[in-house]
Amino acid sequence: MKQSTRPSRRPARILAALAISVGLAAAACGGDEEGTKDTTETTPATTDGGGSGTTAAPTTVAEVEPVPGGKVVFGVEADTSSPWRPAEMLCAISCQQVIRNIYDTLTMPTSEGNWAPYLAESLVPNDDYTEWRITARSGVKFHDGTDFDGAAIVENLNRAKRGTVTGAVLAAVDSVELDPADPMVAVVKVAAPWVAFPYHLSGQSGFIASPTWLLASDDDETLRSKPVGTGPFVYDDYRVNEVFSMKRNPDYWNQPYPYLDSVEFRPIPDALSRRDALLSGTVDMLHSANGQTIFSAREDTDHNLLELTAYGETGYTLLHVTQEGSPLTDQRVRCALAYASDEGLLIEAVGMGMQQEASGPFSPSQVGYLEETGYPMDQDMAEAQRLIAEYKAENPGTLKISLATTQDQTNAVTAQQQQQWWLEAGFDEVTIDQIDQAAYIATAAFGNFQVFQWRNHGGFDLDEQYRWWHSSGAKPVGQLTLNFGRIDDAELDALLDENRASTDPVRKKEIAEEVNRLFGEQCYNLWGNYTVWAIMSDPDVHGPVPFELPDGDEVAFGAGFHGNVYMMNVWVDQ
């Protein structure tokens, strides 16, 4: 792909808009410079030749012994517009942050980029990785008193296999059955060797709900918003777009957790409003990937700050690339959008310089990361205009496109600048659609978009991206799928399939890099920045910190869903 030097000009419109926002941020976040600050940064310390990023051990102000009790109110970026049953949730970042306190997962990711059993006692494959034996951890009970056993795993995984969302993840699973010789063991058979299967059980597909509650909620829809799991907290109350509250599970199997008596999650979609809620004392804790929030948080001596980047996501503009009649089916148009864009400017102005510009879907600690992928990293408006003119000569008529974003004011400013660039490149019409945050993921899943501001692809193994990119998920508009961009690329499919069956870390690294270059060449998405997540909290809130898993490994923050922390080891001054 052609490269050029980024022009020194900076459009006045976006800088003027951001000057106002930044001024408000500075006024709102001024703190006592003599205050104390407990800052924990979790960032990749190194990336080895195999691409398995390692996470630096956190450094924190010395903690005293945790004190049980108390309550934390946590501001999240969105509610979840679906039932709270594992196989049916449209579960984005905020959903994961909430529901992981109710449901445990069968596995957990480790800080070294591997997986370890959690609610499961063990996961053991056969020689060719076409069968996995999952043993339930003994002595665990669901919140309703139901025993956790092999049958509970079978019930949950079979529902996940049939689920509208999780079914895409477990499409390769042929059967899940109880071992007739051992009631604690579920046997999973898959269609082809699946080496990385356990990674998928650390996310939504691995959430385990009470089978008693699941069966009851089949007949009583009112129960579906009252989840029952084995987790450290027990459901208390849920009101759409207002609050999800939970109470301490005194019988949690992984003692001494949790410490808090209760947690309350409140959706606050606008990032700056969420930050202001913390500053005013409305919430005690929040998560945010907003550059202005992170910038001000680093200067704020009155609140704790935890930054998460390892194995993290990429912020980008998602393109629907196979929709009939859309100009985005043409590589020239997609790459023209990339050439017209100046992501460095957006990072500088909108993100306050807090992020690193992205060259592809994999962040620096992930396998497959490359500094150069062939993707147009520098703005070249002349090349963008040339490509658009060439396309319009072959396809006469009005060239228009629709860009979707949330109702967050920072995202809206970004969309307005993208609109300006793409009109300059030669589009005749660029419309902006602002969508409620709670409905955002559903809109993408059903394919009702052309261009969509997005954030995704954190994780530990390329196989975790299979559901997002494999053509088996490229379903028509109106059918729910996790391949949101409806990518249908035979070369990409072959690479994903090869990686799924491989046990060779050297070849897996090569495959992931080939995938990265393919995305650079095809401009399937417009890469923006590698996401930095900030967890801010009041000074009397202690933690969260990594904790030891039952097998001795240290847990990784986020579980591939950055912006998440584990609330079970958070505690507050009394």
Where exactly are the structural domains of the chain? 314-530
pLDDT digits (tens, 9 = 90+) for 539-569: 999 989 889 999 999 999 866 677 899 999 9
More confident residue, 57 or 498: 498
pLDDT digits (tens, 9 = 90+) for 39-80: 333 433 333 333 333 333 333 444 579 999 999 999 999 998
Average pLDDT of the residues in 158-185: 96
Give me the pLDDT at residue 562, please.
Answer: 79
Q: What Å distances lie between residue 536 and 34, 79, 297, 302, CA to CA?
A: 19, 19, 7, 10
Nearest to 308 by CA among 46, 540, 546: 546
User: Would you give the end-to-end CA distance of the chain in angstroms?
Assistant: 59
Give me the pLDDT at residue 26, please.
Answer: 32
Give me the pLDDT at residue 34, please.
Answer: 32
Give residues with Cβ within 8 angstroms of 265, minimum separation 6: 73, 74, 75, 76, 94, 97, 98, 243, 244, 245
Of the pLDDT bands very low, low, confident and very high (cuts 50, 70, 90), residue 221 is: very high
For residue 443, the one-letter residue type is T
- The least confident of 207-216, 288-297, 349-358, 561-570 is 561-570
Give me the pLDDT at residue 211, please.
Answer: 98
Task: Report the 10 Å Cβ neighbour count for 256.
Answer: 10
pLDDT digits (tens, 9 = 90+) for 72-122: 999 999 998 788 999 999 898 999 999 999 999 999 999 999 999 999 999
Nearest-angstrom CA–CA distance, 158 and 173: 9
The CATH homologous superfamily to which domain 314-530 belongs is Dipeptide-binding Protein; Domain 3 (3.10.105.10)
On whether the CB atoms of residues 509 and 52 are closer than 8 A, the answer is no
Is the pLDDT score of 422 beyond 80?
yes
Contacts for 215-221: CB closer than 8 Å, 24+ residues apart: 217/85
Of the pLDDT bands very low, low, confident and very high (cuts 50, 70, 90), residue 165 is: confident
Nearest-angstrom CA–CA distance, 176 and 15: 56
Give me the pLDDT at residue 407, please.
Answer: 87
200-209 core/surface letters (b: 16 or more CB in 10 A; e: else): bbbbbbbbbb
Average pLDDT value for the chain: 89
Is the pLDDT score of 378 beyond 70?
yes
On whether the CB atoms of residues 567 and 70 are closer than 8 A, the answer is no
Residues facing 177 on adjacent strands: 187
Give me the pLDDT at residue 108, please.
Answer: 95
Give me the pLDDT at residue 514, please.
Answer: 98
Give me the pLDDT at residue 559, please.
Answer: 60
Residue 184 tokens read as: 């604690």
Give me the pLDDT at residue 64, please.
Answer: 76
Cα-only R_g, the chain: 23
On whether the CB atoms of residues 238 and 84 are closer than 8 A, the answer is yes
Average pLDDT of the residues in 212-216: 98
The whole model's pTM is what?
0.89
